Amino acid sequence: MGDRSPKDNQKKTGQKQAKASTADQKKKAQVAAKAANTAKKK
- pLDDT tens digits along 8-42: 999 999 999 999 999 999 999 999 999 888 877 66
**What distance in Å separates the CA atoms of residue 13 and residue 5, rounded to the nearest whole number?**
12
Please give the DSSP secondary-structure letter assigned to residue 32: H
* Three-state secondary structure readout of the chain: CCCCCHHHHHHHHHHHHHHHHHHHHHHHHHHHHHHHHHHHHC
* pLDDT at residue 26, rounded to an integer: 95
pLDDT at 42: 65
Q: What is the pLDDT of residue 19?
A: 92
